[in-house]
Amino acid sequence: MSALLPLSYIVAAALFILSLKWLNTPATARRGVRVGELGMLLAVVGTLLRQEVVDYQWIIVALFVGSAIGVPLAYLMPMTAVPQRTAISHACGALAAALVGTAEYYRETPHGFAMVALALEVLLGSLIFILLSLTFGVLLIVPIGGADMPTVISLLNSYAGMSAVAMGFVLNNKLLMVAGALDGSSGFILSIIMCKAMNRSFTNVLFGAFGQVQAGAAAAAEQRTARSATAEEAASILDAARLVFIVPGYGMAVAQAQHKVKELYDALTRRGVDVRFAIHPVAGRMPGHMNVLLAEADIPYDKLIEMEDANSELPQADVALVIGANDVTNPAARHDRGSPIYGMPIIDVDKAHTVMVIKRSMSPGFAGIDNELYYMDQTMMLFGDAKAFVAAMIKEIPAAAAA
Ligand code: NAP
């Protein structure tokens, strides 16, 4: 039995590493999740077999309570709420780390390195959950604006991982150190990648006082007019195009329009139109949000074009069809120094010959600012729910209507 514990920990650590590797691309992401779950199961079973665990009574109660909350959460939570759900999970993990640290202090009152690790564990763990650290957490977040929030969320998640590392030192649990280090460093790397995607430095994101709505811009917007079109008109323009770029955003996720978008892709492809998808790294509300939704709808991966490549192809596109995206297409990010999203790379949909935007109203997106794209000469607004509007367009495309 004593050999089983290190063995289960080594296998679990290897599975966590493989899981992270496979989570890297949509093609292997499902395998990554399964392998991660298996690793966690091994880690839990291995830990329960430790000789220090003398009584299972409370552990079984906790297992049932946790499962009663976790299983419905996993199945009932809509995709658009995954970031909040992830944040809650991390907050619970951080709270657990802080509580274990506090209990360990009263149980053993450690000294030297163990005391430093314990203090770090409690500090990082409680950064998201108790009163003094909570105040610190709020002060840390207040100057950060809307468009930068994804970076901060992943940074906070990485703190939870680092807290787990410290807990591993306190409890002398090597697997906790490994898992925490993987969690902490991957969250940190993700934050750096997102900063790069937004063309921002860490200090600029954390202390830039972004997110203030520009009163002048809002007033200017009121005097401008936007042109709208019907589903029939939009469908005939798409049908006549050679190259169409679809740019999905948060609204596609809200409307759950990804399967209708696949039908539109099929209908246009059958008509000989070259249809590609331009993917912005922070479109939606979590990293990879659009990739996940489009993969779920079975859209071929090779049609998903990353922002940089899409931007070099967009000037040749006949149509850029924006479906529920807003901030990630706002040209103000390129030139308006007063805009809260200035400096964030965007998908250059305004370079396409015609731009069509599906959304329900002229309301702003996450960053709370107006989008000058909507008032440009080449832009047509297609007002409506993304799923219903795409369905209406599909009906107007000849071959699709006949099929
Ligand atoms: P966005 O700027 O938030 O805009 C989404 C648009 O979707 C809204 O303007 C809304 O307009 C429209 N919409 C909502 N429901 C719809 C429906 N049922 N049908 C059609 N349209 C609908 O989204 P985005 O362009 O994807 O940009 C993402 C933003 O979120 C960025 O600012 C990013 O920094 C931030 N963010 C990203 C993450 C991440 O990790 N990806 C995390 C947190 C925050 P109407 O109300 O007029 O319909």
User: How many whole angstroms from 325 Cα to the centroid of ligand 1?
Assistant: 5
The number of angstroms, rounded, from the C-alpha of 90 to the middle of its chain's C-alpha atoms is: 14
What is d(CA 348, CA 278) in angstroms, rounded to the nearest whole number?
10
More confident: 9 or 245: 245
- What pLDDT does residue 11 have? 94
Atom of ligand 1 nearest to the CA of 361: 47
Start-end of H helices in 49-126: 57-76, 82-108, 112-126
Atom of ligand 1 nearest to the CA of 366: 3
326 lines ligand 1 (CB under 6 A): yes
What does the pLDDT look like over 216-252, one tens digit per residue? 444 455 578 899 999 999 999 999 999 999 999 999 9
Categorize the per-residue pLDDT at 100 as very low, low, confident or very high, splitting at 50, 70 and 90: confident
Write out the DSSP string of 37-57. HHHHHHHHHHHHTSTT----H
Partnered with residue 382 across adjacent β-strands are 358
What does the pLDDT look like over 319-371, one tens digit per residue? 999 999 999 999 999 998 888 788 888 999 999 999 999 999 999 998 889 99
Atom of ligand 1 nearest to the CA of 281: 41
Categorize the per-residue pLDDT at 212 as very low, low, confident or very high, splitting at 50, 70 and 90: very low
249 lines ligand 1 (CB under 6 A): yes
What is d(CA 367, CA 385) in angstroms, rounded to the nearest whole number?
20
254 lines ligand 1 (CB under 6 A): yes
283 lines ligand 1 (CB under 6 A): yes
Q: Is 289 helix (H, G, I), strand (E, B) or coil?
A: helix
Q: What length is written for the chain?
A: 403
CB-based contact 283:289 (threshold 8 Å):
yes
